[in-house]
Amino acid sequence: MKVFTFKGGVHPPDYKFITANAPITAMPLPETLLVPLSQHIGAPCKPVVAKGDHVSRGQVIGEPGGFVSAAVHSPVNGTVVKLDTACNALGRVVPAIEIKPDEENPLAFEESTCTELTAEAVKKAVAAAGLAGMGGATFPSHVKLSPPPDQKIEVVLINAAECEPFLNCDNRLMLESPGKVLRGAFLLKLGFGCEKCIIGIEKNKPKAIEALNKELAGGAYPGLFVQPLRTRYPQGGEKQLIYALTGREVPSGALPAAVGAAVFNVGTACALADAFDTGLPLVQRVVTVSGDAVTRPGNYLVQIGTRIGFVLEQAGLIPEKLSKLVLGGPMTGFATGNLDIPVTKGTSGILAFSEAFAEKANQDPCLRCGKCLTVCPMGLSPTQLDQAAIAKRVDLLMQLRVRDCIECGSCAYNCPAQRSLLQSMRVGKGLVMAYLQAEKAKAEAAAKKE
């Protein structure tokens, strides 16, 4: 079968061998869980429980704050200790609910099964389960399932590339639960009413490809196909995946629906299968814990709200060796020093590195070598964007299309001067967003005066 790819990209060492053969292991429960009410792009949830309330596993504890929002559920049977706040991976403080698990049967769950196999039933299950993109973007899934009337979805794509180094949570889900992955993919296809669903997997995961194809051979999932992809970072970028699998290019500023495509992560597909077939909402996820500062790296099934300090303790953290802690993958993740940050729907990895991995070279002036341009999968000019961000030139940032940056970090990885190009892209996006919001506020104020 032909192997597909995209333009640009880099080939960093993947270090996947550390946890590739580690089966998914259920992590014990901590004394309390801190469940953030904002685990998704969009409006935070509104708490619907109070201190002292007893909650059941899967019970809604946070109602969506708008259409672009996703419900939050209790991951355990337990008691609400207090309404609190939590720090997220970006360092922002968000509302949260602290829950103490029951001593007996904290993970007991009364299953319910959806018997109506229709598009509306799928959409209802997705919204009720609070599904959001589990690859890191955390876009509410029910919003994706409701594209504008003039944008018909023709193909569903399952992002199984998992191109980030170190991470293996999606790989293990495909190896251990291929039927669940395909079941979720089939349900997503049904939700859109389209005929085709393609599962794109980098060819460095041959066992996962084999497991899915073997499951497909039974013929239970018509319209589903597995497509090997060339191993190249960021193959799992949404626009790169769409181009590799369909040949369609998403226009600047547009969403995948504009080219008739919808993209979902492997973990999201599995979570949908659970939600639809058992009624269990998104209250747990697989997290890869890796790096040379832990003695038991692996892939752990973690209840949402578990603090990362507890997760690292269970994975055998060597405190004196820890020099850098990253949430997510090393290319797009965020460094933190806060061990109280809880695991959320979008936490795919927790990486603990020693000084050998964390050593950072000093930034040198740009060499004008153009290496960042050759690897940018979006065809941008990172070096010019870097300068524009430093100068706070919003006009240039917009002209150079900073909002098209997918924040993959390929430019920074390939820069011989060690420029912090990814950070500049994020700063530039923030400057543009602040400018646009200010202009919108001015326009609204002027309209009111008229």
Q: Stretch 43-72: mean pLDDT, rounded?
A: 94
For residue 439, give both structure tokens.
């202009």
Q: Report the alpha-carbon distance of residue 29 to residue 82 in Å, rounded.
A: 18
Quote the pLDDT of residue 104.
93
Q: Residue 45: pLDDT above 60? A: yes
Which are the contacts of 443, defined by CB distance < 8 A and separation ≥ 6?
none
Which are the contacts of 441, defined by CB distance < 8 A and separation ≥ 6?
none
Quote the pLDDT of residue 357.
79
Q: Report the alpha-carbon distance of residue 156 to residue 382 in Å, rounded.
A: 31
Q: Residue 202: pLDDT above 90? A: yes
Quote the pLDDT of residue 278.
93
Place of tokens 């690859």: 135
For residue 50, give both structure tokens.
């109070």
Q: Is the peptide bond before 234 cis (omega within 30 degrees of 0)?
A: yes
Quote the pLDDT of residue 360.
64
Instruction: Answer yes or no: are the C-beta atoms of 338 and 87 closer than 8 Å.
Output: yes
Instruction: Answer yes or no: are the C-beta atoms of 166 and 14 closer than 8 Å.
Output: yes
Q: Stretch 302-321: mean pLDDT, rounded?
A: 97
Q: Report the alpha-carbon distance of residue 266 to residue 175 in Å, rounded.
A: 12
Quote the pLDDT of residue 363.
82
Q: Residue 359: pLDDT above 70? A: no
Q: Which pairs with CB-CB distance under 8 Å and at least 24 residues apart come from 56-64?
A: 57/106, 57/107, 57/108, 57/109, 57/283, 58/109, 58/279, 58/280, 58/281, 58/283, 61/35, 61/97, 61/99, 62/35, 62/37, 62/97, 64/140
Would you give the DSSP letter of residue 251?
A: P
Q: Residue 3: pLDDT above 80? A: no
Nearest CA among 36, 286, 307, 313 for reference residue 167: 286
Quote the pLDDT of residue 2.
55
- In 90-247, DSSP assigns E strands to 93-101, 155-159, 196-202, 224-229
**Position 447 confidence tier, pLDDT thresholds 50, 70, 90:** confident
Residue pLDDT, tens place only, 243-273: 999 999 999 889 999 999 999 999 999 999 9
Quote the pLDDT of residue 11.
92
Q: Residue 35: pLDDT above 80? A: yes
Q: Residue 165: pLDDT above 80? A: yes
Quote the pLDDT of residue 91.
83
Quote the pLDDT of residue 434.
94
CA trace torsion 270, 139, 243, 165 (10° rounding): -70
Q: Report the alpha-carbon distance of residue 400 to residue 380 in Å, rounded.
A: 7
Measured CA distances, 298 to 19, 124, 166, 289, 353 (Å): 5, 34, 10, 5, 15
Q: Stretch 263-288: mean pLDDT, rounded?
A: 96
Residue pLDDT, tens place only, 98-135: 999 999 999 999 888 777 889 999 999 999 999 999 98
Quote the pLDDT of residue 180.
96
Q: Report the alpha-carbon distance of residue 6 to residue 372 in Å, rounded.
A: 16
Nearest CA among 267, 274, 296, 304 for reference residue 23: 296
**Position 231 confidence tier, pLDDT thresholds 50, 70, 90:** very high
pTM, two decimal places: 0.93
**Position 361 confidence tier, pLDDT thresholds 50, 70, 90:** low
Largest Cα separation within the chain, whole Å, is 66
DSSP string, 257-284: GGGTEEEEEHHHHHHHHHHHHH---S-E
Q: Residue 217: pLDDT above 60? A: yes
Lowest-confidence segment of 139-153, 252-266, 355-369 by average pLDDT: 355-369
Would you give the DSSP letter of residue 140?
A: B
Quote the pLDDT of residue 445.
86
Quote the pLDDT of residue 209.
97
- Characterize the bridge pairing of strands 46-47 and 60-63: antiparallel
User: Left if phi > 0, otherwise alpha if psi is -120 to 50, otherwise beta: which for 128?
Assistant: alpha
Q: Stretch 279-286: mean pLDDT, rounded?
A: 96
Q: Residue 289: pLDDT above 90? A: yes
* Percent of the chain topping pLDDT 90: 84
Instruction: Answer yes or no: are the C-beta atoms of 233 and 331 closer than 8 Å.
Output: yes
